[in-house]
Amino acid sequence: EEPERYRDQQAFFASVSAIPYCELRLGRLVYNNWPNTPPYEKGVDIQLATDLITHSFKNNYEVAILVAGDNDYVGALQAVKDNGKNVEVALFGKERTSRQLRVVADKILTVNARFLKGCWK
């Protein structure tokens, strides 16, 4: 099963890397007390926050769309807004987000079946 999952993962990474203007950024898995505790990702949040801010100052986008409800992004999103960019937060279904994230966002997008229906051609 693992070789097949690895192959599928590599194919997914290749397809994401082939999308114009899309950069694949990977974090790392930390294994503490394995196998009693599952691994967890490390470094992804700060990497994304850094990219949001860096690309806003390079004028690489006008609207930042964050697909996460994590309160840890509030500071980065405020920096992006302070740089004159719009900020949207996309949430799936009934996913919740913090009040602070809702305040800093210019728009909250709910990604559900109705939203996705408009994406298919």
**Which domains, ranges and CATH numbers included, belong to the chain?**
1-42 (no CATH), 43-121 (3.40.50.1010)
1 — pLDDT class (breaks 50, 70, 90) = low
Q: Which of 72, 76, 106, 114 is nearest to 89 (CA)?
A: 106
SS3 content of the chain, % helix, strand, coil (to 5): 45, 20, 40
Q: Which of 57-66, 88-97, 106-115 is predicted most confidently?
A: 57-66
Tell me the pLDDT of the chain averaged across its residues.
Answer: 89
Q: How large is the average pLDDT for residues 101-105?
A: 94
**Between 86 and 118, where is the model more confident?**
86
Taking 80 as the threshold, does the pLDDT of residue 101 lie above it?
yes
- pLDDT recorded at residue 116: 76
Q: How large is the average pLDDT for residues 34-57?
A: 92
Q: H-type helices in 2-111, by residue range? A: 2-17, 44-57, 74-82, 99-104
Q: CA-CA distance, 37 to 88, in Å (whole number)?
A: 34
121 — pLDDT class (breaks 50, 70, 90) = low
Does this model's pTM top 0.85?
no
Please state, as a whole number, how many other Cβ atoms lie within 10 Å of the Cβ of residue 79. 15
- pLDDT recorded at residue 110: 85
If you search the block for the tokens 């919740």, which residue do you land on?
96
Kindly report, residue by residue over 68-96, the tens digit of the pLDDT: 888 999 999 999 999 999 999 998 877 78
Angle 111-114-116 from CA coordinates, rounded to 5°: 60
